[in-house]
Structure 1
């Protein structure tokens, strides 16, 4: 399918974006990738050095804070992967938006409109996050019995204790939840006489190898219990508090799931993307058993924790197969951290 097909990837220099581009190029696709700054030589150089990039990779400058900039990158493409997301909002960085949530939703809306205006885009695939799919009840008092695609994080004050007084967690949760809902509503409407298929992939905590160096990405959060990084560990605690356990996904499975959703004949809607659903205690036990050389942060056994079941099978029902289980994901995180000198 790759030959002759043009696809767009927003946020091309990020952890998921760069890995996705590498796989798309290997499959023969022509890729339009967006970056915030084409003068950033390390990010541009990384993408241009990927196998098959010459003649197949076209870079565009576009910033989520200026969403109309994405038009040229999307023009002529059949599929768009919207991976970019604003993580932090610096006061004064934008007169247009008051926080990351406003910027993210405006960006999602603008990119969907660009897809419709292009006249060529058949499907928009959004890299969502499982923070939008909390199984917490509306009042935040308890968890539901299962976590699946019907779960939506209740955006109200009852969640404040979960955010651990870290504004970034609240901003990120609100921005990813509201952006995903907005894009799904787009897929239900006839826009400008054309139907746009929209797929959202709320991905679990993503681990494995990496093409980019990042001091605090999701890959580092996966090994927070052994690298003794308090910021990363707080992120882990936040995820368990919000989701009951930690949904894990390997970077390779995540990108294959994106491509699977593009190459399917017809597909739309919401598909949770994670191969494992484990507790902090189970993660600590894994490291203690298989990597005794590390000093593993001890977890308090929580006997009161409700045993929530991960019952999402929608992606697999469509024919997708995960290749990596929890052990493989965590072991690959350690292997990568060793290679990068972080352990």
Structure 2
């Protein structure tokens, strides 16, 4: 994305406008007074973009135009006259080394996902993001484009598009007792609003450059499900997984660079409170059958949040 150099809000383009992160980014951009040109494969598909047109300011300052990544030149009209472009794809972080007991690996903006790993295990979505970002950096260098990249971890929060995105559906399944979430391994988690705000922050900061990791907290699948089961006992969250969890390296994401720009991400409880409230409003979560009240004492609320405080 390019930087904003004028005090007044101008016109920006958001690619993949109907996606999970892109939709929330457009919501924030409209709130901040920008004119937004959203690129989608079919701008005439009103049903798919209905959640965008429902946003405050959309009728006055949102325009949907055609743009298809698989068609060369299809974005020319979409970006023409825009002061900045937000392309919402981001690289994922993986570790190639074997885990060492007690060792902590800190990953920063210089850490890249393994092309060999993604190819070997046919993780094509992640591989596409890695290769796309690498090509973007080459193109930006050759054409003197001011490129800044935001690297979000696993995104949590209200999902404006419906049907749910793959990320949101994975969380919905987990909260409904699904046992396949363990395949994700240890990950960072971040609120969708923080991801959107991070994009706008680096765009509006002339000194921003390079890559910025956007994440709030890391957790293993087991740590996460235990935390969620304790915090939301009314939901049918399972603390077991279908497959034995593989040994994964213990790592932390270094988000100092983004914090120095002034962004402090919302904690785990806020992102899941918002996510669960949204899913419950949509009627997508199953509640446990109510039990007959007993004389047993109620667990201390503080203990519900203790599992991940020091993770």
TM-score bracket, shorter-length normalisation:
0.7 to 0.9
Deviation at 1:306, TM superposition (A): 4.2
CA distance in 1: counterparts of 2:114 and 2:31, whole angstroms: 40
Q: 1:238 aligns with which of 169, 180, 183?
A: 183
Q: 1:80 aligns with which of 76, 85, 90?
A: 85
Deviation at 1:276, TM superposition (A): 1.1
Match of 1:279 in 2: 220
Q: 8 Å contact 2:19–2:165 — kept in the other structure?
A: no
1:19 aligns with 2:28: no
Q: 1:251 aligns with which of 192, 209, 214?
A: 192
**CA distance 1:213–1:302, change in 2 (3 Å):** closer
CA distance in 2: counterparts of 1:181 and 1:303, whole angstroms: 29
Q: 1:181 aligns with which of 134, 141, 145?
A: 134
Deviation at 1:28, TM superposition (A): 1.0
Q: 8 Å contact 1:2–1:29 — kept in the other structure?
A: no
CA distance in 2: counterparts of 1:56 and 1:295, whole angstroms: 42
Match of 2:156 in 1: 207
Q: 2:271 aligns with which of 322, 325, 329?
A: 329
Match of 2:296 in 1: none
CA distance in 2: counterparts of 1:275 and 1:149, whole angstroms: 15
**CA distance 1:6–1:228, change in 2 (3 Å):** same
* 1:79-120 superposed Cα distances (whole Å, 9 cap, x missing partner): 10012xxxxxxxxxxxxxxxxxxxxxxxxxxxxxxxxxxxxx
Q: 1:268 aligns with which of 203, 209, 212?
A: 209
Q: 8 Å contact 1:197–1:267 — kept in the other structure?
A: no
1:46 aligns with 2:6: no
Deviation at 1:284, TM superposition (A): 1.0
Q: Which runs of 5+ in 2 are unaligned?
A: 1-5, 286-311
The structure having more radius of gyration, on CA atoms, is 2
* 1:12-39 superposed Cα distances (whole Å, 9 cap, x missing partner): 1111111111111111111111111122
Structure with the higher helix share, 1 or 2 = 1
1:136 aligns with 2:78: no
**CA distance 1:73–1:337, change in 2 (3 Å):** same
CA distance in 1: counterparts of 2:210 and 2:75, whole angstroms: 23
Q: 8 Å contact 1:199–1:268 — kept in the other structure?
A: yes
CA distance in 2: counterparts of 1:67 and 1:268, whole angstroms: 27
CA distance in 1: counterparts of 2:214 and 2:168, whole angstroms: 16
Number of positions where the alignment pairs a residue of Structure 1 with one of Structure 2: 275
CA distance in 1: counterparts of 2:203 and 2:118, whole angstroms: 37
Q: 1:317 aligns with which of 252, 257, 260?
A: 260
The two structures have a TM-score, normalised by structure 1, of: 0.73
Q: Counterpart of 1:289 in 2: which secondary structure?
A: helix
Deviation at 1:298, TM superposition (A): 2.2
CA distance in 1: counterparts of 2:236 and 2:50, whole angstroms: 37
Q: Counterpart of 1:209 in 2: which secondary structure?
A: coil
CA distance in 1: counterparts of 2:71 and 2:47, whole angstroms: 23
Deviation at 1:4, TM superposition (A): 4.5
CA distance in 2: counterparts of 1:318 and 1:225, whole angstroms: 34
Match of 1:58 in 2: 63
Q: Which runs of 5+ in 1 are unaligned?
A: 84-126
Q: Counterpart of 1:69 in 2: which secondary structure?
A: coil
The higher relative CO (CA closer than 8 Å, separation ≥ 6) is in 2
The two structures have a TM-score, normalised by structure 2, of: 0.80
CA distance in 2: counterparts of 1:145 and 1:4, whole angstroms: 40
CA distance in 2: counterparts of 1:184 and 1:342, whole angstroms: 40
Q: 8 Å contact 2:30–2:36 — kept in the other structure?
A: yes
Match of 2:300 in 1: none
Q: 1:295 aligns with which of 232, 236, 239?
A: 236
Q: 8 Å contact 1:280–1:299 — kept in the other structure?
A: no
